[in-house]
């Protein structure tokens, strides 16, 4: 049963046009980010290698003893030791960023960010226009959820940049993922503008789904940082043990923040958003009580939302438990995000449940 209401087809078509236009601008931003990485100088990176090569670390095994003239006190010259942080990553300098610290690379980086801002504004306009076309929250089906999700993810990234956080290294994987998400939304998940089924016609739609989208967007940023942390940590370990990474690894991974910085970023964003994810599940249960007469019915969406909660709770617990820091905790975080992705796509598309009525 669909609620009787009118749909403004002209606004719906305008929304589609804006979404396609944003994809075109995101594509330009993608190539600008590629140029930033490629044209950024490779000669201005290498601080990690200098800090972790065996030649720099070798004196740590030796202790020099000198005796002050005119006295009998022996003075030990303390060697320089490369320490490790609590997260398990060596305490080394952050990389200079995607541009490699060069004017040319930085120029392309600024162009990429500017294009990303423009694409974000165009896509956000498409989401708002979609909402106006049906006069409701634009989250009634997977197409609308996907376009809103990518918009919020980009907005969160730009928010970090606005706060003067060094996260421009997120730009390339973010824009790439957004293009894939929008490509999937506009091809396989495309759904015409329509009204909500009765169960969705509630003010809880604004509360529950909006928080779920925001949590997922921030979890995504944390997952990218976690994945890059694993690559960067392996790179630092290889340098510290005398290995010789390839030119590509040196060019890319040297420019990223240190493994400790990436690990700290992912932990902070996951820890900050976890309470809101808890609220999201509680709000969903309250909405289910209003819509279906029960707060919890072990529906597939409910189960996988809870599994995702358990995954991130295990990650946060692992970070506070001796022996489960660094890479082990990072694997748990990625598993938790994989559960979120399955809850996002798998349950809605492949599993029969009360949450699969959205016309996907």
Cβ-contact 87, 95 below 8 angstroms: no
Mean pLDDT value across residues 20-29: 97
Q: At residue 340, does pLDDT exceed 80?
A: yes
Residue 165's pLDDT band (boundaries 50, 70, 90)? confident
Q: How far apart are CA 56 and CA 50, in angstroms?
A: 7
- For 67, phi then psi, to 5°, come to -110, 125
**pLDDT digit string, tens, across residues 293-316:** 888 888 888 899 999 999 999 999
Number of domains in the chain: 1
What DSSP letter does each residue of 16-81 carry, written as one string? HHHHHHHHHHHHHHHHHHHHHHHHS-STT--HHHHHHSHHHHGGGG--EEEE-TTS--EEEEPPP-
Report if residue 17 sits inside a domain: yes
C-alpha of 7 from chain center:
35
Q: Residues 200-218, buried b or exposed e (16+ Cβ, 10 A)? A: beeebbebbbbbbbbbbbb
Q: Percentage of residues in the chain with pLDDT exceeding 90?
A: 47
Cβ-contact 320, 149 below 8 angstroms: no
Report if residue 3 sits inside a domain: no
**pLDDT digit string, tens, across residues 322-338:** 667 789 999 999 999 99
Looking at residue 297, what is its pLDDT?
Answer: 81
Q: How far apart are CA 49 and CA 242, in angstroms?
A: 10
Indicate whether this model's pTM tops 0.85.
no
What are the distances in angstroms from CA 31 to CA 181, 231, 247, 269?
17, 23, 22, 28
Mean pLDDT value across residues 162-184: 93
Looking at residue 51, what is its pLDDT?
Answer: 62
Task: Give residue 349's domain range.
Answer: 9-58+65-356
Looking at residue 345, what is its pLDDT?
Answer: 86
Mean pLDDT of the chain: 82
What DSSP letter does each residue of 199-266 carry, written as one string? GG-STHIIIIIHHHHHHHHHHHHHHHHHHHHHHHHHHHHHHHTT----HHHHHHHTTSPPHHHHHHHH
Number of Cβ atoms within 10 Å of the Cβ of 51: 19
Radius of gyration of the chain (CA): 25
Identify the weakest region by mean pLDDT among 8-12, 176-180, 271-275, 305-309: 8-12
Looking at residue 253, what is its pLDDT?
Answer: 87
- Sign of the Cα pseudo-torsion (58, 62, 63, 66, in order): negative
Looking at residue 19, what is its pLDDT?
Answer: 96
Looking at residue 63, what is its pLDDT?
Answer: 45
Report if residue 2 sits inside a domain: no
In the 8-state DSSP scheme, what is residue 345? Answer: I
Cβ-contact 51, 82 below 8 angstroms: yes
Of 268, 274, 148, 247, which is closest to residue 205 (Cα–Cα)? Answer: 148
Highest mean pLDDT among 192-206, 288-302, 342-356: 288-302
Residue showing tokens 């931003």? 29
């Amino acid at each position: 049963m669909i609620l009787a209401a009118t749909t403004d087809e002209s606004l719906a078509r305008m929304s589609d046009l804006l979404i396609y236009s944003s994809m075109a601008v995101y594509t330009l931003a993608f190539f600008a980010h590629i140029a930033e990485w490629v044209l950024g100088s490779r000669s201005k990176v290498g601080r990690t290698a200098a800090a972790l090569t065996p030649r720099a670390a070798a004196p740590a095994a030796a202790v020099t003893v000198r005796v002050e003239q005119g006295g009998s006190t022996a003075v030990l010259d303390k060697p320089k030791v490369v320490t490790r942080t609590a997260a398990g990553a060596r305490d080394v300098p952050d990389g200079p960023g995607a541009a490699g610290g060069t004017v040319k690379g930085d120029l392309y980086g600024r162009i990429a960010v500017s294009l990303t801002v423009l694409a974000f504004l165009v896509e956000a306009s498409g989401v708002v226009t979609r909402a106006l076309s049906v006069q409701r929250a634009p989250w009634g089906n997977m197409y609308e959820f996907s376009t809103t999700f990518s918009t919020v993810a980009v907005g969160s990234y730009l928010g970090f940049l606005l706060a003067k956080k060094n996260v421009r290294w997120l730009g390339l994987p973010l824009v790439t993922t957004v293009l894939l998400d929008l490509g999937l939304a506009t091809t396989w998940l495309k759904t015409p503008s329509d009204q909500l089924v009765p169960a969705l016609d509630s003010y809880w739609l604004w509360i529950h789904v909006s928080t779920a989208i925001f949590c997922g967007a921030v979890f995504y940023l944390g997952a990218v940082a976690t994945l890059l942390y694993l690559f960067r940590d392996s790179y630092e370990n290889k340098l510290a043990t005398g290995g010789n990474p390839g030119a590509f690894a040196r060019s890319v991974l040297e420019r990223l923040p240190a493994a400790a910085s990436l690990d700290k970023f992912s932990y902070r964003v996951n820890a900050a958003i976890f309470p809101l994810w808890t609220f999201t599940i509680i709000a969903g249960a309250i909405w289910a009580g209003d819509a279906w007469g029960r707060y919890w019915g072990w529906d597939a969406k409910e189960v996988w939302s809870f599994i995702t909660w358990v995954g991130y709770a295990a990650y946060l617990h692992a970070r506070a438990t001796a022996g489960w820091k660094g890479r082990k905790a990072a694997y748990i975080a990625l598993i938790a995000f994989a559960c979120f992705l399955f809850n996002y796509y798998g349950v809605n598309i492949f599993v029969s449940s009360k949450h699969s009525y959205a016309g996907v």
